[in-house]
């Protein structure tokens, strides 16, 4: 029983670090990159913003 709880806690800590250290930064970089790509492509198609 105590060993199952320890394994569960270890699994939860591993999942947290995977999400916090790997997935969240990678997702942030991907979203910013996708937004930049969208702006770049829209300016290629429609021209630069008038100003």
Q: What is the pLDDT of residues 29-46, one digit of tens each?
A: 999 999 999 999 999 999
What's the confidence (pLDDT) of residue 51? Answer: 67
Mean pLDDT over 1-28 rounds to 92
**pTM metric for this prediction:** 0.71
Rg from Cα positions in the chain: 21
What's the confidence (pLDDT) of residue 37? Answer: 98
- Output the six-digit token pair for 8: 């569960």
What confidence tier does 1 reach under pLDDT thresholds 50, 70, 90?
confident
Residues whose CB is less than 8 angstroms from the CB of residue 49 and which lie 6 or more positions away in sequence, other chains included: 43
CA terminus-to-terminus distance, the chain: 68
Q: What is the average pLDDT score of the chain? A: 93
Cβ neighbours, 10 Å, residue 39: 11
């Amino acid at each position: 029983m105590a060993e199952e709880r320890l394994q569960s806690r270890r699994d939860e800590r591993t999942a947290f670090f995977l999400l916090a250290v790997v997935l969240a930064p990678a997702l942030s970089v991907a979203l910013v990159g996708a937004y930049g790509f969208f702006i770049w492509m829209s300016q290629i198609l429609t021209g630069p913003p008038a100003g």
